[in-house]
Structure 1
């Protein structure tokens, strides 16, 4: 039995930090959105052990990979001794603020729950997801949602239309840990209006959503990676309706009225800005085949 899974990336329409939790983690408030851009994972049963093949530059194929860690976590938590061979085909830019690793981990939890006949509930999978990373619970659920706490307190929101998205990922490595450390040191001013975004999402109003985009980490990342500001300016000049950085960056996204408009905007961009991808918003995060 083979299972093929599409693990979709995410963008942050807003990202705010509201404080520190008792365990030292940052307390988040973020409106997250799945996009159609997806990695593909293929799962094949083995009598025992975990084998992971990636073939992508800079993507580890061992215990450092969240896919491996998700599989091992399931085995540890359930006592399952069955094995799996996993082929990971990367389409989502790595370490780019798009939740690619988190999406792959969430897909692994869902796929192995079926492949190994574990019968874990969505709630049980969500608790395991949080052990793997703050974005993994959302990537398991997908769609449009408000995430609070470490990212595990999810409130589903009305699905947005399949608006077009242009992603531009500068060829610069960004450390999420460093960005948060710099945020704690600098404490930038200017926070997104989450409530305004929630009202805009409820109305499915593209102009209002674009007016409410905000990311408290963007000034921090942009101070370390000047390319972020250049990409934002280029997307605005190219005609994107709204522009913002996703996660801790460095990817910047531009929202458009549809995929055709997104392709027109992308066609006006200088390819030297970085990797340019056209996609769209979508309602789900993981698609099992």
Structure 2
């Protein structure tokens, strides 16, 4: 079976408070990016009693045992008889970009195994298992726009006025770590909750729908700030960094035609 795990982007990201466990509570919106996909293929490994993992594309995995796809398989195999598998992952979504590529691969692996081996797990049960693999993994089980709170793991459905708009995602060769993202962050409650902001026209989001990780990222990597500025200069209605970066996206009424450096990864498509 072949599936196509897709990227996600964050619309806004407010760091609202530091928790007693040392983690932070967030307020954001996840939306899937259809068409910006990895490729995951899983078949029975009839030639061996062990699993076989391989990868291709960008960010090729060296240690497959640490890969979230392998961890998803191991997680389901604890409770379900799954035969030895041949697994191949072709990566198109860059790692360390705030696009959730690894989380999507893991969640799609859970969904694929559930269907391919008739495990009978509900969406709720798959979400519970996905949440053990990463805070945003569960989002990709239903793969629909949600407002996310907590550590990014508490979801509520949301409707967005975006169908028909174009999105361009720009990923420079820059990767930000989580400690970098949180440096100098002062948690605070937003003036308006994110659902209220997103009811406004897209053109209004620029002033209110901020990503609290941008100041640190832009200070360390000024080219990220420049990309955001360039997207606005070329007609974006809204532009922002996704998650903790380094991907910057812009939302347009018409298909954008913008040239970028050759070492940038670019995706452009309709929402």
Give runs of aligned pairs for residues 60-139 of structure 1, distance below 5 A: 60-61=61-62, 62-76=64-78, 78-139=79-140
Greater helix percent: which structure? 1
Q: What secondary structure is seen at the aligned counterpart in 2 of 1:63? A: helix
Give runs of aligned pairs for residues 222-233 of structure 1, distance below 5 A: 222-233=218-229
What is the aligned partner in structure 1 of residue 9 from structure 2? 11
Verify: 1:274 aligned to 2:270, yes or no: no
Number of corresponding residues: 266
Return the match for 1:237 from 227, 233, 239: 233
Return the match for 2:203 from 184, 207, 211: 207
CA distance in 2, matches of 1:201, 1:169: 25
Cα deviation for residue 123 of structure 1 reads 1.1
What is the aligned partner in structure 1 of residue 248 from structure 2? 252
CA distance in 2, matches of 1:15, 1:279: 23
Question: Residues 193 and 90 (structure 1 numbering): CA distance in 2 closer, same or farther, change over 3 Å?
Answer: farther
Cα deviation for residue 20 of structure 1 reads 2.7
What is the aligned partner in structure 1 of residue 43 from structure 2? 44
Question: Contact conserved, 1:13 with 1:213, CA < 8 A, in 2?
Answer: yes
Gap runs ≥5 in structure 2:
none
Cα deviation for residue 104 of structure 1 reads 0.7
Gap runs ≥5 in structure 1:
282-289
Question: Residues 12 and 192 (structure 1 numbering): CA distance in 2 closer, same or farther, change over 3 Å?
Answer: farther
Question: Contact conserved, 1:67 with 1:108, CA < 8 A, in 2?
Answer: yes
The one-character-per-residue Cα deviations of 1:152-201 (angstroms, maximum 9, x if unpaired) are 21101125414211111111122234323x1xxx1258875552x42354
The one-character-per-residue Cα deviations of 1:191-228 (angstroms, maximum 9, x if unpaired) are 75552x4235446x332345543111111122222221
CA distance in 2, matches of 1:246, 1:192: 18
Q: 4+ residue stretches of structure 1 with deviation over 4 A?
A: 188-194
What is the TM-score normalised by the length of structure 1? 0.84
Question: Residues 179 and 50 (structure 1 numbering): CA distance in 2 closer, same or farther, change over 3 Å?
Answer: farther
What is the TM-score normalised by the length of structure 2? 0.89
Question: Residues 79 and 276 (structure 1 numbering): CA distance in 2 closer, same or farther, change over 3 Å?
Answer: closer
